[in-house]
Amino acid sequence: MTTRRKILAFALTLPLSLALAPGQTPQAQSAPSASAVAPSAMYEVRSFGAKGDGTTVDSDAINKAIDAAAAAGGGTVHLSAGRYLSFSIRLKSHVALWIDVGAVLVAADPAKNGGHYDSPEPNPHDLYQDFGHSHWQNSLIWGIDVEDVAILGLGLIDGSHGLTRSGPGARLSRGAGGRPVSMGPAPATPQDPDAARRRMEGLGNKAIALKRARNVTLKDFSVLNGGHFALLATGVDNLTIDNLKVDTNRDGFDIDACRNVRISNSYVNSPNDDAIVLKTSYALGEAKPTEDVTITNCHVSGFDIGTMLDGTYKTTQRNAPDRDGATGRIKLGTESNGAFRNITVSNCVFDRSRGFALESVDGSVLEDITVTNLTMRDVTNSPLFLRLGARLRGPEGTTVGALRRVVISNITAYNAEPKFASIISGIPGHPIEDVTISNVRILYRGGGTAEDAARTPEEREETYPEPSMFGTVPAYGLFVRHARGLTLRDIVVGTMTADARPPIVLHDVQNLRLDHVEAARPAGVPFAVFRDIADLTVRDSSGVADLRLDQGDSGTIPR
């Protein structure tokens, strides 16, 4: 049965109190009692007083429809064509919100529309992540402790005028222990720990927020300017995201401490922040994992905001606020208190965005990851960035985690930013382990100098992880530091203009296999520069004679 037929079938089951007689306007109807509506009925919000005229605030009517559906055991709340100005909408279990073709759910402006969003609820566990990650009720649509819910339809959620993209960072500790060392020194002037919450009172900074939910489906709708997060899902089990189009001013999807997640067939344009990001923060008061996740058949990008949805794909915005090119990528991290396990990313396109990133910096064990079939164009930083660090923004006693058992294959990247190469970087005493990268083609823009080739980047163990943290790296293709068990097979790297840096630089790497690695380079530039290398095998690679090094060694190839 088609979607339209399903809607008609629902309509046929409605009691007369919800049906529209010929010539009758929705406003003329009175809101029915919950007992008058059968389970699984369609609840038309206009029947509960919504106007859909773009000037009347309709959130009370929409919430009444949701309450009626929930009281009756479940049903679908329907927004037909129109513009529905709204503050916070509260999801209930066993209720679907259907935003139909031609319907726009518009986030209201507290300063202009005479209302406010629900207050950010207190969270005693908000020390280790930003304010936006720590609260859910201050959103256009939110659900906490709900099950069997859905947001569906081919309509639009528009936060352009009513949602803020701002939010304070992690707060100071009130109790013993003070500020974590990894967060740097405390400000010289003491701050009121509740000041952040007061500043956000009445504001909405997320389009959709879900906390401790189960069996959630988000399908077919679009989001424009979703605030700090178009979607924040924290502690959600069995989450399906399919065929969404998100064109937003900060993060697209933030999937935090979730299990059994399927993200597919979605477009996320987010030039100022990450497009699809998996996290494991401490927002629930424990280090819960994100596990059993598939991301497939998605497109992420960093075009001007709004130009993905309108089809113009403009490129006038050159940089994200952190000045490192447009963002728009797929990433695991930065918030990384809990584990990341059993995650697959496949068949995705990156367009005018940063590359793919794996980051464990807050004690997380990040393991058993498969990444395959990615195509990238106009990459604004490292096409591949794997970082194990020691920011350790977590409870006292948090230790460095692990990044291991990663398989990356079938990657094509064109016109990549030349400063950063691809980076695999652990820290001293904590190597990245058991990584296999195969069948990769990357063409960088080039232009690196001999001075760049002589650089030794600082370790920066406690720094926020981003490829730009190291400055220009001494390799144009791949910079590896502190790794064990690395296999590079069928790799081709080159530059669009001459680059004086070697293609590959390796520091403190053990058990390394280079098999059929092709790397363009000017005459006199070595294929690889290495220091403190043990158990290195090179075969069938770029005009280099096969070789084997069994002990720690330093030098260049050719030697």
Q: Using CA atoms, how far apart are residues 435 and 440, in angstroms rounded to an integer? A: 14
Does residue 119 fall inside a structural domain?
no
Q: Using CA atoms, how far apart are residues 159 and 105, in angstroms rounded to an integer? A: 8
Indicate left, alpha or beta for 508 from its phi (over 0: left) and psi (-120 to 50: alpha): left
pLDDT tens digits for 305-324?
Answer: 999 999 999 999 988 887 78
Does residue 280 fall inside a structural domain?
no
Q: Establish how many alpha carbons lie within 13 A of residue 385's alpha carbon, considering only the half-sphere containing its beta carbon.
A: 29
Handedness of CA 50, 52, 54, 59 (dihedral sign): positive
Q: Using CA atoms, how far apart are residues 19 and 72, in angstroms rounded to an integer? A: 18
Does residue 436 fall inside a structural domain?
yes
What pLDDT shows up at residue 5?
44
pLDDT: which is higher, 186 or 354: 354
What pLDDT shows up at residue 26?
39
For the chain, helix, strand, coil in percent to 5 are 10, 45, 50
Lowest mean pLDDT among 36-45, 179-188, 299-308: 179-188
Q: Using CA atoms, how far apart are residues 258 and 260, in angstroms rounded to an integer? A: 7
Domain residue limits at 525:
355-559
Does residue 318 fall inside a structural domain?
no
State the Cα angle at 181 between 364 and 206, rounded to 5°.
60
What pLDDT shows up at residue 3?
45
What pLDDT shows up at residue 404?
98
Burial zone of 359 (CB within 10 Å; 0-12 exposed, 13-18 middle, 19+ buried): buried
Cβ neighbours around 516 below 10 Å, total? 15
Does residue 59 fall inside a structural domain?
no
Handedness of CA 248, 163, 242, 131 (dihedral sign): positive
Of 252, 358, 238, 237, the C-alpha closest to 300 is 252
Q: Please give the distance of CA 97 from its chain centroid, rounded to a whole number.
A: 24
Query: How far is residue 450 from each of residues 139, 176, 419, 472, measured CA to CA in Å?
Result: 51, 51, 13, 12
Does residue 121 fall inside a structural domain?
no
What pLDDT shows up at residue 551?
79
What pLDDT shows up at residue 40?
60
Q: Are 503 and 478 in contact (CB under 8 A)?
A: yes
Instruction: Give the residues across from 333 on adjacent strands.
Output: none
Q: Is the pLDDT of residue 7 over 60?
A: no
In this prediction the pTM is 0.90
Length of the chain: 559
Q: In the predicted model, what is the mean pLDDT of residues 532-548?
A: 92
Q: How confident is the model at residue 6 (pLDDT cuts 50, 70, 90)?
A: very low
What pLDDT shows up at residue 178?
37
The 3 state secondary structure assigned to 216-279 is EEEECCEEECCECEEEEEECCEEEEEECCEEECCCEEEEEECCEEEEEECCEEECCCCCCEEEE
Give the chain's domain count.
1
Residues 6+ apart with CB under 8 A from 107: 86, 140, 157, 158, 159, 160, 161, 162, 163, 204, 207, 227
What pLDDT shows up at residue 192?
59
Q: Are 172 and 193 in contact (CB under 8 A)?
A: yes
pLDDT tens digits for 228-248?
Answer: 999 999 999 999 999 999 999
Q: Is the pLDDT of residue 32 over 80?
A: no
Does residue 420 fall inside a structural domain?
yes
Q: Using CA atoms, how far apart are residues 452 and 431, in angstroms rounded to an integer? A: 25
Indicate left, alpha or beta for 127 from its phi (over 0: left) and psi (-120 to 50: alpha): alpha
Residues 6+ apart with CB under 8 A from 129: 170, 281, 282, 283, 335, 393
pLDDT tens digits for 283-295?
Answer: 999 999 999 999 9
Q: Is the pLDDT of residue 187 over 80?
A: no
Q: Using CA atoms, how far apart are residues 85 and 114, in angstroms rounded to an integer? A: 11
Query: How far is residue 36 from each of residues 39, 43, 80, 442, 506, measured CA to CA in Å?
Result: 10, 11, 21, 63, 71
Which amino acid is present at 283? A
pLDDT: which is higher, 325 or 486: 486
Residue whose entry in the numeric block shows the structure tokens 């773009």: 54
Tokens at 275, concatenated: 């497009």
Q: Using CA atoms, how far apart are residues 128 and 18, in angstroms rounded to an integer? A: 48
pLDDT: which is higher, 37 or 139: 139
Q: State the chain's mean pLDDT as an integer.
A: 89
pLDDT: which is higher, 299 or 124: 299
Does residue 155 fall inside a structural domain?
no
Q: Is the pLDDT of residue 9 over 50?
A: no
Cβ neighbours around 437 below 10 Å, total? 22
Q: In the predicted model, what is the mean pLDDT of residues 365-376?
A: 98
Residues 6+ apart with CB under 8 A from 102: 80, 81, 82, 155
What pLDDT shows up at residue 542?
84
Give the rounded percent of residues in the chain with a pLDDT score beyond 90: 79
